[in-house]
């Protein structure tokens, strides 16, 4: 997890392209940013910052 949005975005994109899976970047309840595979995200949709799809690029 990171509190720096630009760092979290870069790491999320790197994870998506490494796993070749869609990932979701979201703001966790403690104010930090976190990422998980989109298929496993079951949190509040209002916390989603963005989703990364390595197949769309």
pLDDT at 2 (0 to 100): 59
Q: Report how many domains make up the chain.
A: 1
In a domain, 57, yes or no: no
Please write the tens of the pLDDT for every residue from 1-57.
Answer: 557 899 999 999 999 999 999 999 999 888 899 999 999 999 999 999 999 999 996
pLDDT at 40 (0 to 100): 96
Q: Which domain holds residue 48?
A: 5-52
Question: From CA 10, how far away is CA 19, in angstroms rounded?
Answer: 14
Sheet of 33-37: strand order equals: 33-37, 23-27, 48-52
pLDDT at 57 (0 to 100): 61
In a domain, 13, yes or no: yes
3-state per-residue secondary structure call for 7-52: HHHHHHHHHHHHHCCCEEEEECCCCCEEEEEHHHCCCCHHHEEEEE
pLDDT at 1 (0 to 100): 55
In a domain, 46, yes or no: yes
- Answering whether pTM is above 0.75, one says yes
Query: What does the angle CA 57 – CA 21 – CA 13 come to, to the nearest 5 degrees?
Result: 55
Which two three-digit tokens encode residue 53? 């799809």
């Amino acid at each position: 997890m990171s509190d720096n949005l630009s760092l979290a975005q870069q790491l999320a994109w790197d994870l998506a392209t490494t796993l070749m899976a869609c990932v979701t970047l979201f703001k966790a309840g403690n104010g930090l940013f976190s990422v998980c595979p989109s298929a496993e995200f079951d949190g509040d949709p209002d916390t989603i910052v963005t989703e990364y799809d390595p197949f769309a690029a």
